Amino acid sequence: MLLTMGGAFAQGLLPVPALTARVIDQTGTLDAAQRNGLDTKLAAFEQRKGSQIVVLMVPTTAPEDIASYTQRVGDAWKIGRKDVGDGLLVVVAKDDRKMRIATAKALEGAVPDLAAVRIIDEEMKPRFRGNDFAGGLNAAVDRLIGLVDGEPLPEPTRDTGSHGGGGGGG
């Protein structure tokens, strides 16, 4: 019985969306200007530092918890430079009221779990409670950029073709 329930559980998992931009909002919460502003900030950071930050907003991660879903998305998208491992994934499950910041190996020193939790608690949650999702995401991204800027990472190459997304909007 448990084995058949496990199979049904696995089939009901939320699919990982295609990586089409640095900001993917499947909830329709952010307007085009908010998405584009955040995307522009992330693109400039990526070009300057080489590290990649991607923001994903989904209505829910059910039946998975946000940690498992974020791990699946991170495994599928492989954010950051392959040879450096310097990607960050910010996931917001809006209806679940859950947020997670996942850090690739090279950035675990710059953005340890405690720092990620503080950014969520201090920047995202208070603004989200007031329905200021763009403000919360921008404040979180600003803090993340500040932390990563302090890390000695390899210089970015001029070829930025390694990113699966790009300037698209959505």
Torsion of CA 98, 113, 133, 164, to 10 degrees: -100
* pTM metric for this prediction: 0.85
CATH code of 16-148, in short, is: 3.10.310.50
**Domain range list for the chain:** 16-148
Q: How confident is the model at residue 18 (pLDDT cuts 50, 70, 90)?
A: very high
- Alpha-carbon Rg for the chain, nearest whole angstrom, is 16
Residue with more model confidence, 1 or 11? 11
Any residues with CB less than 8 A from the CB of 8 and at least 6 apart, and which?
Answer: none
53: nearest Cα among 124, 127, 149: 149
Q: How confident is the model at residue 165 (pLDDT cuts 50, 70, 90)?
A: very low
Q: What are the CA-CA distances from residue 150 to residues 28, 94, 109, 146, 159 (Å)?
A: 33, 30, 10, 7, 23
22 has a pLDDT exceeding 90: yes
Q: What is the mean pLDDT of the chain?
A: 88
Q: What are the CA-CA distances from residue 147 to residues 27, 94, 116, 122 (Å)?
A: 28, 25, 10, 15
What is the pLDDT, as a whole number, of residue 92? 98
How many angstroms separate the CA atoms of 51 and 84, rounded?
9
